[in-house]
Amino acid sequence: MKLRVVNHTHYLLSGRHHDHNYASPPPKQLTSLSARNFWEKYLEYIDYEFDQAHAVVITDGGKIIAFFRYILHDAQLTACGTWVSPKYRRRGLGIRMWTYVLKRNSIKQIGVYTASMEGVRLVKKTALLYPNIVWTDY
């Protein structure tokens, strides 16, 4: 497995993705969020630029098995979707991606909206590891 950070030009963030890029297709509501049209409108709404969008991507055999999308602006991080392929779940990949980002940046505040119980558990677990960060629900 290979972990790396990608920027707004990566197909995961630019809307140029195809299901064959994934080990198993993520839910449509997550992949549709990566369309550039959505990102431009969303980033405009929260007053960020498209080039502030990033993602941590984990691949296995060239296929995406997990990702964590986020917007980084100064000391604030806005979480924009975390996904792990069902075959790779319960291995700590979600927390690994979040921790990777948080250890490499001086984050003071995180804005996050969770759409699943797994997401709620991931955020709670991560927040316990980083008690000095202000966590905000959207």
Instruction: Tell me what the mean pLDDT of segment 53-80 comes to.
Output: 89
Q: Are 88 and 57 in contact (CB under 8 A)?
A: no
Compare 76 and 28 and report the one with higher pLDDT: 76
Task: Please give the pLDDT value at position 80.
Answer: 82
Q: Check whether 37 has a pLDDT greater than 60.
A: no
Instruction: Tell me what the mean pLDDT of segment 82-90 comes to.
Output: 91
Task: Please give the pLDDT value at position 25.
Answer: 60
| Residues 23, 9: Cα–Cα separation, whole Å | 21
Instruction: Tell me what the mean pLDDT of segment 94-112 comes to.
Output: 95
CATH-assigned architecture of domain 2-137: 3-Layer(aba) Sandwich (3.40)
Q: How confident is the model at residue 126 (pLDDT cuts 50, 70, 90)?
A: very high
Q: State the average pLDDT for the chain.
A: 80
The one-letter code for the residue type at 135 is: W
Q: Check whether 35 has a pLDDT greater than 50.
A: no
Q: Is 133 helix (H, G, I), strand (E, B) or coil?
A: coil
Compare 115 and 40 and report the one with higher pLDDT: 115
Task: Please give the pLDDT value at position 84.
Answer: 92
Compare 113 and 77 and report the one with higher pLDDT: 77
Q: Are 16 and 6 in contact (CB under 8 A)?
A: no
Task: Please give the pLDDT value at position 26.
Answer: 60
Sign of CA dihedral 114, 83, 70, 37: negative
Task: Please give the pLDDT value at position 59.
Answer: 92
Return the domain boundaries, the chain.
Answer: 2-137
